[in-house]
Structure 1
Amino acid sequence: MPDLEELKKRRDQLTARIKHHEIREAAQARKRETKIKLLVGAAILSRVKKKGGLENSSIIQMMTSYLTRDTDIKDVLGTDGTGSEILKRLTQPDEGENQSTESPVTSFQE
């Protein structure tokens, strides 16, 4: 039968292994959450682009009410609040794409 010190050592090893697995699982969950956020954002940007760009969407209003940090506001909405150059480029309809005035935020059905 193992002595007390041996049992404590095994307990500590198991505790360390459990902690390691918990940390790994938490990291994987954060990665999945980030992936989902990116995919949802990409889908919204794609819908805005297909529906005619920023002028025909409520994305600016949605982002204005959502963003709080000055750097995020500047990066997404630009200095004038109508959309940064990057956002405009990401949502600019491609030539010849079918455009609609339907709001991309309120309707995702095709």
Structure 2
Amino acid sequence: MTSRPRMRDPSTMLPGIVAVALFGVLAVVFLGASFQNPAGFQNGANITASIGYAMFNIVSVEGQNIVSSEGFLIAFEIIDLVLVAALVAAVMLARREGGGVFSPLRTDGGKDTGGDDE
């Protein structure tokens, strides 16, 4: 007996159709979008310092070539939230089942010897 997934299962048809439709909508949006020509930054612009100054609401600093960075700040915060969510998910997936933080670690590669270790 094999454990292959059934391809014509009605309970999995609807999510598949929704996924294909969503892909179609996203493809139309991305292919139909028009972008302006890239303008770039002036020579010697300090983008990293500009993001830091925008985070702490510092208006001007002497001797720094600062650019407007509110758009960068929003992207930085979104990436921050996504990375924190990925880190929390990785910790949740990697935690041990059944035990707790204080459960004894096995040094035999996870093999159960069947006897008392204590």
Q: Which has the higher contact order (CA 8 A, sep 6+)?
A: 1
- TM-score normalized by the length of structure 2: 0.28
Higher helix share: 1
Q: TM-score scaled by structure 1?
A: 0.30
Work out which of the two has the higher radius of gyration on C-alpha atoms and give 1 or 2: 2
